[in-house]
Amino acid sequence: MFEIAPVTPELLDALGTELGGCDFSHQAQKSFLENKGSCDIQAAPGNGKTTLLAAKLALLSRTWTSRRQGICVISHTNAARTEVENLLAKHLLGARFMAYPHFTGTVTAFINQFIALPYLRGLGWNVRQIDDDVFAAEALRRYEGWGALDWLANKAKHGSKHAVESWVSGLDLSPDFIDAGTNPDTLAVRRRKGQHHADKPCGIALAQLKAAMVRSGLYRYADMTALAQRALATTPGLAARLRARFPLVILDEAQDTNGDQLKLLEALFKDGITAFQRLGDQNQTLYEDDALSPADYWTAGPGVIPLDGTRRFGTEIASFASRLTARAKQEIVCEVQRPGVRVLFLFDQMTIADVIGAYAAEARELWGDACAQRNVWAVASRHSIAGHKAGAWLPKSLVDYHPAYRSESGSRDEASRFCRQFQKASLYHSAEKSPAEVVGLLAAALAELTQRYGLTDANARAANANNVWAVLAHRDLGLPRRIRRLLRDNVLVGDAPWEVNAWHAMLEALLPLLGGMPEGAADAIADYCAFVENEKVTLVAGQTRSTKEAVFGDLTIRMGSIHSVKGRTVDGILVVESQIWKGAAAALQCMDLETVLPQAFGLIDQGFVGVKLTAATSVFVGVTRPRELLGLAARKSVITPQLIAAAQVRGWKIVDLPLLAAHVVPAGA
């Protein structure tokens, strides 16, 4: 067990000073700080949960003396992990919790580092890349090599191409697979809805395809969880050793860890001995899996510690957001007096392109010359390029509002190709992602190419994303530097991933550096290195290089998905209406703001389920980001006079863009 120093008012003041002038005097905060057992914390947006977590680690740093036991802090995303690490790095004693014997990282990193990858290496399996998109792209290219799958997808009288490709792209390893040595011919897979049984021709083909992907070293993230489950089931004492190593486990953003990953953590640490402390907000459950039931998500248990207060925004936004706490009813309480400006923009097909500019005008009216210093965003539930355009016009994604916008993740099509991975790295670089993420993408793409050339490191190990530079240095000590410069000049700041002539010119410089063409590998290398046609955004004069910004003079509006701003505090945000899409059936689709605004403005009082619950969750996360300026943009055709009246009574400004375009100013606007 571990000890915690007595939490006195003086100690709380000291912790607040150490973490930049915070106040930890609230009883709920004190209850968490001094808690040495398992507990759940339901935290409202803007309550300072991450800072409170850092305060607990700073408190523990005063009494933690063990060099063999550590604290395990697990988050769902790298962004949440980075936020915790940045706070700890500024604390003299707390900084040591970022090194052995402690662990701070994502749930995926924890599972991989401590369980899945050691077990995988023990099986003798190769690891080239763990990435859902890369796996899907490669599996979709290969599956027609199995006659049963090819026939069902393309040749059967009533073909099931969509179903087959869904099974193939999401082909998860089953924990019950039979260990068939280092080069398995068949591996049991998790059966999805409608998928053929394992003893049928298609089921047999899927198991063989999975084994082929494993032999190539390509995995899905869920495969690592399956391997971890298998390791725990077959390795006596492994769970006990992990519990002994980590007497305190803190799961941050608990609402985003679900399904098998959550079950795995609970099997490990809900043992009655380990202190398993889970912090989150059930109303911000953005990461969903349609195959899961409500019981597969984190739910705060009895004795939950409620953090209802917020210091981010004022009463107006708190009241509006509280009506959208659809998963766990919560009345958000303001702990600061912060006046907020709220604007509802109405648009139609002719004026949708004016929405972001109109929002920029409201920001300038609010902040004047201080606009340049403000963190301002425009976001949507769906931000990828809309595909199917049939039927009535709908604003399906953020691209409908700002055609130059591109997500740095891009399309999943051909994600395993050399060129496609370099396109992704180029977009990451333009979006100012961390250098480590950009280099990681370049390394993963380059590793596969060096494998095809047969290059290895000094210990005869094939290249992967972690050792590719050592593999290249084994061939020639100066080679890593030459290739990095080549990639910098041609990929990150050049046009090679986007223009076919530039791409071939780069290959002519790169491929000879790797040696002569291996016998029999020419076709495979040519296929991997083929140019992938993908639209590159052409920016007009005056725009920034980034495809995720809109610039209006000295005001820059950043753009992204609602997922991308989760956990952030911003000065202003515009949530634009977009489509929630979970399938082709009408019951699996809805327009987010059309669905939730009647509830948010008090016209109805009902619960949300299914796709409508997803819409309410997404909008809730979006509207709880800003300190001062909240904008919503919805189609004029779905906003009723009753809703406009309810909004105006609550102090919302209405900007009717179709009327303004017709040079008519609505009364009261």
pLDDT at 519: 87
pLDDT in tens, 137-177: 899 989 999 989 988 888 776 668 888 989 999 999 999 99
Strand partners, 376: 557, 572
Q: State residue 293's pLDDT score.
A: 85
Residue 142 CB burial class (10 angstroms; 0-12, 13-18, ≥19): middle
- 327 burial type by CB count under 10 A (0-12 exposed, 13-18 middle, 19+ buried): buried
Confidence of residue 614 (pLDDT cuts 50, 70, 90): very high
Q: What is the rounded distance in angstroms from the CA atom of residue 480 to the CA atom of residue 473?
A: 6
Reading the block at residue 611, the tokens are 């796709």
The mean predicted confidence, pLDDT, of the chain is 89
Please give the order of strands across the beta sheet that includes 39-43: 103-106, 71-75, 248-251, 275-280, 39-43, 305-307
Confidence at residue 278, expressed as pLDDT on a 0 to 100 scale: 96
**What amino acid is encoded at 505 in this protein?**
A
Handedness of CA 223, 227, 232, 238 (dihedral sign): negative
> How is 157-168 classified by DSSP, letter by letter?
TT--HHHHHHHH
Q: What pLDDT, on a 0 to 100 scale, did the predictor assign at position 664?
A: 59
Q: What's the pLDDT score for residue 373?
A: 92
Cα–Cα distance measured from residue 357 to residue 608, given in angstroms and rounded to the nearest whole number? 32
Strand-pair partners of 305 = 41
Q: In the chain, what percentage of residues exceed pLDDT 70?
A: 94
Place of tokens 């993740």: 409
Cα(28)–Cα(20) distance, integer angstroms: 20
Residue 90 has pLDDT above 80, yes or no: no
The DSSP line for 527-595 is: HHT-----PPP-PPTT--S-TTEEEETTEEEEEEEHHHHTT--EEEEEEE--EEESSSSGGGEEEHHHH
The gap from C-alpha 40 to its chain's centroid, in whole angstroms, comes to 23
Instruction: Give the pLDDT band of residue 440 (cuts 50, 70, 90).
Output: confident
Of 169, 45, 86, nearest to 621 by C-alpha is 45
pLDDT band at 544 (very low <50, low <70, confident <90, very high): very low
Domains recognised in the chain with CATH numbers: 9-113+227-307 (3.40.50.300), 132-219 (no CATH), 315-405+544-661 (3.40.50.300), 418-528 (no CATH)
What pLDDT is attached to residue 242?
96
Q: Tell me, what's the pLDDT at 547?
A: 63
3-state secondary structure of 59: helix
Is pLDDT at 390 greater than 80 in this prediction? no
**How many C-beta neighbours within 10 Å does residue 390 have?**
4
Residue 540 confidence class, pLDDT cut points 50, 70, 90: very low
Least confident of 316-320, 366-370, 375-379, 462-466: 462-466
CA distance 236 to 405: 51
pLDDT, tens digit, 9 for 90 and up, residues 472-489: 999 999 999 999 999 999
Does the pLDDT of residue 409 top 70, yes or no?
no
Residue 385 structure tokens: 């390029």
Tokens for 589, please give them: 């689709």
- For the segment 114-127, the average pLDDT, to the nearest whole number, is 93
**For 183-340, where are the E strands, in sequence order?**
218-219, 248-251, 275-280, 305-307, 309-310, 333-334
Q: How many CB atoms lie within 10 A of CB 2?
A: 14
pLDDT bracket for residue 543 (50, 70, 90): very low
Average pLDDT value for residue range 431-438: 78
- Per-residue confidence (pLDDT) for residue 542, from 0 to 100: 37
| Euclidean distance between CA atoms 140 and 169, whole angstroms | 6
User: CA–CA distance from 65 to each of 6, 19, 60, 93, 663 (Å)?
Assistant: 17, 22, 10, 12, 71
- Checking if the pLDDT of 534 tops 90, the result is no
Of 90 and 660, the structure prediction assigns the larger pLDDT to 660
- Would you say residue 223 has pLDDT above 90? yes
Q: Which of 640, 641, 623 is nearest to 632 (CA)?
A: 623
pLDDT in tens, 256-309: 999 999 999 999 998 888 999 999 999 999 888 878 888 899 999 888 999 999
* Residue closest to 103 by CA, chosen among 246, 1, 231, 237: 246
CB contact burial 22-55 (16+ within 10 A = b; e otherwise): bebebebbebbbebeebbbbbbbbbbbbbbbbbb
Tokens representing residue 623 in the block: 């509207």
- CA angle at residue 97 from 96 to 98, to 5 degrees? 85
Q: What's the Cα-to-Cα distance from 180 to each of 125, 143, 188, 346, 565, rounded to whole Å?
A: 10, 21, 11, 61, 44
Percent of the chain topping pLDDT 90: 61
The pLDDT, as a whole number, for residue 545 is 45
Q: 582 vs 166, 245, 287, 587, 614, CA distance in Å?
A: 13, 41, 13, 9, 10
- Which of 187, 172, 177 has its CA nearest to residue 259? 172
Q: What is the pLDDT of residue 101?
A: 94
Range 403-415 average pLDDT = 65
**Cα–Cα distance measured from residue 347 to residue 601, given in angstroms and rounded to the nearest whole number:** 19
